[in-house]
Structure 1
Amino acid sequence: MSTLKYWVWLSRCAGLDSQLRLALLDRFGSPEEVYYADEGALSLTEGMTRRALEPLTQKDLTDAEKILADCERLGVQLLTLHDAEYPVRLRCIYDPPCLLYLRGRLPAVDELPVIAVVGTRKASPYGLRCAEELAFGLADSGAPVATGLARGIDSAAAQAALRAGGPVLGVLGGGIDVVYPKENGWLYDDVAAAGCLISEYPPGTEPLPGHFPLRNRIISGLSAAVLVVEAPLRSGALITAGTALDQGRDVFAVPGPIYAENSKGCNRLIRDGAGLAAEPWDILREYDFQFPGRLRGGSRPAPEPLEDRPARMPEPPKPALPTLSARAAGLTDDQIALLRALTDQPVSVDDLIDQTQLPARRVLSALTMLEIDQYVTQCSGKRYIRAVALTD
């Protein structure tokens, strides 16, 4: 832990790009040696500028120590560029991150045909269906799926891969504890349980727009290939495809209607030489020999899209909830507010905070007491439903 603070310090020095951090590590051997180097020695590093030199002369470790304390509190692991577990595949890109924050268990990336599945946030029903079927088939065949966990294609791919029982690598543009979009809190938990959440940003970092293009190089850097499912001509998914090509990765794309804006980026990629992907083995056949024994023909069909699933028999009506008098039960105002905000559909803690406008600590305290009294029931992903109906 004592040496990790120097890795955090180096990763937080403003004005340094990944290449300059690598140059410093090559010259001095470790972040600790960089920290104790004098200004004259630092200035001799290849690519050093006056703007980059200034933060390196600031030796306050308070911020680094706070980040380490936050990581310990949140169960976040740190993986440095010099650790044996750091994927060689990622280490060999032009600008690898010197430090990664992890929640969950990182698969043996170098031994697996990880496939990145990316696409537009504003996905069409066609795009969502393709993302689900392809990601399910990839995971079911033994290929872990990497994605950014954004709305649209990313989320659909992650959910389908999890349903297939495969690990998912969720690469984030903010801190691991900052859920974005907010409705994906349960998805973050599921990915961490079955795979790994990955970020180069410390806990508490907001997902700023400038973070996402940098995040994309990690998504492609961890992957053997990138699959673009649906993307207009101006799309972050095409940036990921570009970084993949720069890193020597293969790129595949799903074709779409020539007049559909969301398919123009994919169609252009195919026109320019990307592989056409209509089913998982359009991609995986390229890696069956490279990763012997790792891939298997997916025997299960992908889950049917919602609009194509046969109609189910109507479910029997749910039994009425037992009634509860708030006055007789001696409920607090916070408990009453939460019971009124809850329904028979799971609601996340964040949504309850937004609805009740109560501080987070009071919401968590009240939910704990309500759960002990069996007035609420906790579902997966720290979501809650009411178990009683208030009468006053």
Structure 2
Amino acid sequence: MSALKYWLWLTELPGLTNQTRLALLRHFPTPEDVYYADPEEVLLTEGITREQAKLLEDKDCSGADRILADCQRLDLDLLTIQDAGYPNRLRNIYDPPCLLYVRGRLPAFDDEASIAVVGTRDCTPYGVSCAEKLGYGLAAGGAVVVSGLARGVDSAALRGALRAGGTVTAVLGNGLDVVYPPENQYLYEDVAAAGALISEYPPGTPPEAKHFPVRNRIMSGLCLGTLVVEAPARSGALITAGTALEQGRDVFAVPGPIDAPASVGCNRLIRDGAGLVSDAWDILGEYEPRFPDKLRREGARETPAVLGYQARQKTEPKPVPPSVSLSHNDYSLTDDQICLLRALTEEPMLVDDLIELTDIPTRRVLSALTVLEIEHLVTQHSGKRYARAVNLTE
């Protein structure tokens, strides 16, 4: 049995938290030692309960065999927390992943000025323009750009960095063989070719909403600083910023109009001490003394020679939304959620109109919309208006 099989057995064993796995790896030299340990020895692990120790009695490795075969078929590398190539910058956070799946070539993060660029999926043209410009400037200035490959700001920042010929990394909340969102297929391939795709989830793992807040700690943990381009008052990007602060990393933000809902989170971050950013050197200048041979002021202040957002809107085809089958009900939707999805259109609608159309009580409508937004099946727009983000099939 290869050593990696034991790692996969430990990381995929149902019921164990990442903190429990890390505690076991502090007590035992390797996962193989955990696999063969006596139950009483397992109970000597700091913080472990009898219920958790009981889970380790499951020695089935068929799932590990399947994952190893998938990784070989997909040409994915496995990087364990004990490997020399695992970034120390990530290893030293509070809750580092025990195992990473990698497609492409992982940058030497400990020797790089890497910057995470994050923001809302439902961004404005201003947010897209800023993300592309700053992604370009960061890459042209010598930084590694890290993002999440989500719609909106993430994708725009990665596109900008790729146009500059820079090194990029995308951290996913799903398996590396799952392209999400589907319209990012070409961007997905470009990122893998120019840098790396990373995930702590095995191949085949779907993009569940609960994965993304967990994924954020990896993005900030790999980087010296996190830049928030555009974020409303409640945004996953603000979770990443909070995680960065907990990890002792720097946080930067792009200011926006005081009455713009998509900029509320950024403006508050700046008010609370985040670095205000108008060009990439506002960030890279902070790290030039540490990386004098890598960071370039001239590159960071270059302007990408690409069409503006409004011009591209007229020339590029509109992305086709993903499809959701109501008959298969892959998202385990409730009757209220299905009814609301059928009532919604691609044009934003007021909650009051949805209540009238569906005859569902207000409390249930708001609850259902919250879940649908978390699952990225609907998007919220200014004025508490909602639009369907997927195509429906029966």
Q: TM-score range by the shorter chain?
A: 0.7 to 0.9
2:305 maps to a residue whose letter is P
Partner of 1:237: 237
Partner of 2:248: 248
Residue among 292, 302, 310 paired with 2:304: 302
CA deviation string 1:314-338 (max 9, x = no partner):
9xxxxxxxxxxxxxxxxxxxxxxxx
- Any residues of structure 2 matched to 1:114-125 within 5 Å, and which? 114-125=114-125
Partner of 2:276: 276
Partner of 1:220: 220
TM-score if structure 1 supplies the norm length? Answer: 0.78
2:187 maps to a residue whose letter is L
- Any residues of structure 2 matched to 1:156-235 within 5 Å, and which? 156-235=156-235
1:286 maps to a residue whose letter is E
Partner of 2:36: 36
Displacement of 1:49 in angstroms is 2.0
Q: Distance in 1 between matches of 2:118 and 2:211?
A: 16
Displacement of 1:167 in angstroms is 1.1
Partner of 1:113: 113
Partner of 1:26: 26
Displacement of 1:308 in angstroms is 6.7
Partner of 1:317: none
> Gaps spanning 5+ residues in structure 1: where?
315-344, 355-392
Three-state SS of the structure 1 residue aligned to 2:262 is helix
Displacement of 1:259 in angstroms is 1.1
Displacement of 1:303 in angstroms is 3.2
Three-state SS of the structure 1 residue aligned to 2:297 is coil
User: Relative to structure 1, is the Cα distance of residues 307 and 91 closer, same or farther in structure 2, using a 3 angstrom cutoff?
Assistant: closer
Percent identity for Structure 1 against Structure 2: 62
Partner of 2:261: 261
Greater alpha carbon shift after TM alignment, 33-42 vs 294-303? 294-303
User: Relative to structure 1, is the Cα distance of residues 50 and 233 closer, same or farther in structure 2, using a 3 angstrom cutoff?
Assistant: farther
CA deviation string 1:214-235 (max 9, x = no partner):
1000000000000000001110
Displacement of 1:307 in angstroms is 4.9
Three-state SS of the structure 1 residue aligned to 2:226 is strand
CA deviation string 1:141-167 (max 9, x = no partner):
110100000000000001110110011
Displacement of 1:304 in angstroms is 4.5
2:107 maps to a residue whose letter is P
1:53 maps to a residue whose letter is A
Partner of 2:130: 130
Q: Contact (CA 8 Å) 1:173, 1:207: kept in 2 or not? A: yes
> Gaps spanning 5+ residues in structure 2: where?
326-394
Displacement of 1:53 in angstroms is 2.1
Three-state SS of the structure 2 residue aligned to 1:252 is strand
CA-based RMSD: 2.3
Greater alpha carbon shift after TM alignment, 290-299 vs 113-122? 290-299
CA deviation string 1:192-220 (max 9, x = no partner):
00000000000000111110011000000
1:133 maps to a residue whose letter is K
1:152 maps to a residue whose letter is G
- Any residues of structure 2 matched to 1:21-100 within 5 Å, and which? 21-100=21-100
